[in-house]
Structure 1
Amino acid sequence: MQYRDSAGLDSSQVRSSSGAAGGKLAVGGVGGLVIVLLAVFLGFDPSALLSGTEAGPQQNTDSYAQCRTGADIEQNRDCRFVAYTNSIQAYWSKALPGYQPTTTNIFTGRVSTACGTATSAVGPFYCPVDRVVYLDTGFFDQLTRQLGAKGGDAAEAYVIAHEYGHHISNLTGVLERAQQAGNQTGPNSPQVKLELQADCYAGVWLANAAKDAASPIAAVTRDDMLRAADAARAVGDDRIQEQSTGRVDRESWTHGSAKQRQDWLTRGFNSGDPRQCDTFAA
């Protein structure tokens, strides 16, 4: 992924927070069904997200204030998270009438959200209550070391764009309708279709990321798309089940198979059109 040195970066769209690793944070006002349908990138035990004990210390810092232009990424690689976020939100601000900007909260250890307490074990997720994307960047090491993805900037950008895809589904009312359908799992369940829609939206953004002359993303190459597709395959339910248990249970899927995820990401990228991302009608 190539960056545009002259592009301005808005660091206010990314914030960072850290909680003491041994701290316990208070529960948010979210029921179990909503937790299951949260935009968590990988399946997880809800107890890793919710805690009923008292809050521990959490510090919010403006770690990205020095990220002012695309050229800063070369000096400070953390600035790429600002570039991803800025580009994703700039695209959706134009593509979706009434788009409501939000933030990416990068945390370490654990973090308090309106959906409850999250630890690093949760993986990247979107909380529909506070409408914030949460990310522990340590996930990217897991993506490559444990899940076997090739990694790279485009793979990281795909992960974040997927979570912003859930923000789009939330703003359009699709996420709420999926929640109302109940706690269903399986390859054709509303929960899986919600995840596949987020994959498709991520592909749409990748297709359009470099088209705006003001975007901090200067180019998305074929190799970038291949790395994003590789990451999508790596987090397929069947791939994860095979690695963890040696067997595949289709009816327990919550995010879709490796093929489903790659196919919908590719569909979004090839079309560049969010109207092609109606996974519920497909």
Structure 2
Amino acid sequence: MKWEDFRPSGNVEDRRGMRMPGGAGGVGIGTLVVVGLVGWALGINPLVLLSGLDAIQGGGSPTQQSAQPQGRHGAPTDELGRFADRVLAQTEEVWTGLFRAQGRTYQEPTMVLFSGATRSACGGASSAMGPFYCPLDKKVYLDLGFFQEMKTRFKAPGDFAAAYVIAHEVGHHVQNITGILPKVQEAQRTARSRAEANALSVRTELMADCLAGVWAHHANARFRILEPGDVEEALNAASAIGDDKLQERAQGRVVPDSFTHGTSEQRVTWFTRGLKSGSMQQCNALQGAI
């Protein structure tokens, strides 16, 4: 993937190396790590386990924002930090253009780079949780060590695989600022069962996969970022983190009603749909559900 010559974002907050006072959102670091590992192994978003479904989809207390640490602003100088910074900048260019074509203004998110643990407006976070988006503060949270986990644990190496992860989280930001996430939250609150609420979560995640594909389509059209093997890297990553594969690896069986992100096949299908079409309208996995 070509990224080295692209501009920095200017929307990166670097908290790496910062000590988080008082633990993470009132939860001990040991608990965060355990819960995070369980969540990733079972394909369940650990923020759901820690804070309840409302926290990740837009509930929770806005007063938590005041307790967030403030990291360094400016372009990171290490290679992984520069990579994440420039991928974020590419998403800004693409989504600004797509929103402008619809007569709208794109509100750029902030990316928080952290190590170990940190706080978000959605609650505490640890590296074991993996990347996530918090709709309350409109920030993407990322421990860059997750990319090594993708390579060694999930067998999904490659810079474009890592870019797909960032673009997926930015896809959640697009859902948030277009009003989709609040509607999902309300639908989940009135769901008749946990399985029904999980099904909404799956649709939301598949839509974010599709939006990541839309970004890749337009980023390549404008900046020629793709190199041989890049698309295969992203598809491998999407497949590796499907709920069915994660559950099969963790417990030797799959429980479809507990899926929260979609099967490997579904994730590949929806990313591919966005990549081929370049159309946000092709990404409405939630049609008829909210």
Q: 2:210 aligns with which of 200, 224, 243?
A: 200
**1:209 Cα deviation from its structure 2 partner:** 0.7
The structure-2 alpha-carbon separation of the partners of 1:109 and 1:146, relative to structure 1 and needing over 3 Å to count, comes to same
Q: Which has the higher helix share?
A: 2
* Paired position in structure 2 for 1:84: 87
Helix, strand or coil at the partner of 2:141: strand
* Paired position in structure 2 for 1:64: 75
Kindly report which structure 2 residues correspond to 1:247-262, keeping only aligned pairs within 5 A, or say none: 247-262=253-268
Question: How many residue pairs end up in the alignment?
Answer: 252
* Paired position in structure 1 for 2:221: 211
**1:135 Cα deviation from its structure 2 partner:** 0.4
Which segments of structure 1 move beyond 6 Å, counting only runs of 4 or more?
none
Q: Which has the higher strand share?
A: 1
**1:281 Cα deviation from its structure 2 partner:** 2.5
RMSD (CA atoms): 2.8
**1:99 Cα deviation from its structure 2 partner:** 1.4
**1:63 Cα deviation from its structure 2 partner:** 6.2
**1:43 Cα deviation from its structure 2 partner:** 2.1
> Structure 1, unaligned stretches of length 5 or more?
29-39, 67-74
Kindly report which structure 2 residues correspond to 1:1-282, keeping only aligned pairs within 5 A, or say none: 1-3=1-3, 5=5, 7-10=6-9, 12-18=10-16, 19-20=18-19, 23-26=22-25, 43-46=44-47, 49=50, 58=69, 60-62=71-73, 64=75, 66=77, 76-96=79-99, 97-149=104-156, 151-182=157-188, 184-185=194-195, 189-212=199-222, 215=223, 218-281=224-287
Structure 1, residues 186-235: CA drift from partner, whole Å, max 9, x if none?
798111000000000001111111333xx5xx421351111001000011
Q: Distance in 2 between matches of 1:15 and 1:57?
A: 12
Q: Distance in 2 between matches of 1:93 and 1:205?
A: 11
Bigger mean CA offset, 117-126 vs 176-185: 176-185
The one-letter amino acid paired with 1:25 is A
Q: Distance in 1 between matches of 2:229 and 2:153?
A: 22
The structure-2 alpha-carbon separation of the partners of 1:178 and 1:108, relative to structure 1 and needing over 3 Å to count, comes to same
Q: Distance in 2 between matches of 1:77 and 1:46?
A: 25
Q: Distance in 1 between matches of 2:46 and 2:197?
A: 20
> Structure 2, unaligned stretches of length 5 or more?
28-38, 52-65
Asked if 2 retains the 8 angstrom alpha-carbon contact of 1:186 and 1:252, the reply is no
The one-letter amino acid paired with 2:3 is Y
Q: Distance in 1 between matches of 2:186 and 2:129?
A: 23
**1:56 Cα deviation from its structure 2 partner:** 9.9
TM-score with structure 1 length normalisation?
0.80
Helix, strand or coil at the partner of 2:201: helix
Q: Distance in 1 between matches of 2:225 and 2:207?
A: 24
Identity %: 36
Structure 1, residues 166-204: CA drift from partner, whole Å, max 9, x if none?
001111111111111116447981110000000000011
Q: Distance in 1 between matches of 2:272 and 2:198?
A: 19
Q: Distance in 2 between matches of 1:100 and 1:56?
A: 23
TM-score with structure 2 length normalisation?
0.78
The structure-2 alpha-carbon separation of the partners of 1:15 and 1:250, relative to structure 1 and needing over 3 Å to count, comes to same
**1:48 Cα deviation from its structure 2 partner:** 7.0
**1:27 Cα deviation from its structure 2 partner:** 5.5
Q: Distance in 2 between matches of 1:25 and 1:166?
A: 23
